[in-house]
Amino acid sequence: MHQNQIASITGIGSYLPSKKLTNHDLEKIVDTTDDWILQRTGIRERRIVENGVATSDLAAHASLKAIENAGISAEEIDMIITSTITPDYLFPSTSCCLQKQIGATRASAFDISAACSGFVYALSIGQSFVNSGAAKTVLVVGSECLSKIVDYTDRTTCVLFGDGAGAVVVQNNPEKHQILDTRLVSDGSHSDVLIIHGGGSKHPASPDSIQQRLHYIQFRGKEVFKLAINNITNLVIETAQKNGFDVQDIDLIIPHQSNLRIIEATMEKLNLPMEKAFVNINKYGNTSSASVPIAIDEAQQEGRLKKGDLVMLVAFGGGLTWGSSVIKW
């Protein structure tokens, strides 16, 4: 790290499509009920893009808000990092599409794929570039159109996912929200528990892959549930220890919004009250890598983040991947 280089979040923005898909709407599509979904997931509704809207479109809305919030122009951005599992195309990157939309003419641009942990992974990269002095202003984005890869004939998965985007600007500014530490973990031995089999080099798109519905999200929920709770709990404890504070010192945990029961079980294992967790899954469902930055923006708007607060971001997703970030607000 260059002397006095402290990567901080200086701008925040999010965007949700206006169209809502409620549990009652889903009752008309698949064999499910509002009570069943709510009891098992905590989700009441989710946002869905209109036809023709792509991941970069959502990202652009969120990014422009974050840029305005940071008080900068798009031309000042040195780098764009977008986390997504629903890119506009296999290539070019969604970040390049986003760069064009927002006019960030000076920026380098690339995507990362770490599923629901992707935003924390991307934030870690942005933090490293700013801390090293290699970049002054980094735009970090999580954006997803999960409704495009959900099988609406599969009642176990179609109830979970929604669309949205969130973005932050990362700069060297110790007066703002300092990123103190980021920890990233992966375990590829569980790579098949949450997966889209079709569309890559393993199973290229073909009439057969379409017939077998290989281009939709498939996951084994019970396995993911257990792995998520144990690994997130351990990561929070390890992150606190590494940074010299107690878990009880955390003012707010902003977790990936995958399942309310996972969040509740994790908070119980950490011996923390639910008041210390920010939850908005009831409104948006699981928006994968967009969920954490959307939650940061909402927590800020709701007055849940106060100057000097110790905030921990934590996420868990396919790969398997998980990660945490400690921020001094």
Looking at the DSSP assignment, which residues form a beta bridge with residue 166? 14, 142
Q: What is the gyration radius of the CA atoms in the chain, in angstroms?
A: 19
| Catalytic residue list contains 286 | yes
282 included as an active-site residue = no
Other CB atoms within 10 A of residue 39 CB: 11
Catalytic residue among 97, 116, 145, 158: 116
Pick the catalytic residue: 23, 172, 259, 286? 286
Which H or E run contains 194? strand 194-195
> CA 285, CA 258: separation in Å to the nearest integer?
7
Token pair recorded at residue 84: 């997504």
Measured in residues, the chain has a length of 329
Q: Which of 97, 177, 256, 259 is catalytic?
A: 256
- Calpha distance 53→48 (Å, rounded): 10
Characterize 182-219 residue by residue with b for buried, 16 or more Cβ atoms within 10 angstroms of its Cβ, and e for exposed: bbbbeeeebeebbebbbeeeeeeeeeeeeeeebbbbbb
Environment class of residue 150 by beta-carbon count within 10 Å: exposed (0-12), middle (13-18) or buried (19+)?
Answer: buried
Residue 61 host element (H or E): helix 55-70
311 and 168 Cβ atoms separated by less than 8 Å:
no
Whether residue 116 lies in the annotated active site:
yes
Catalytically active residues, by annotation: 116, 256, 286
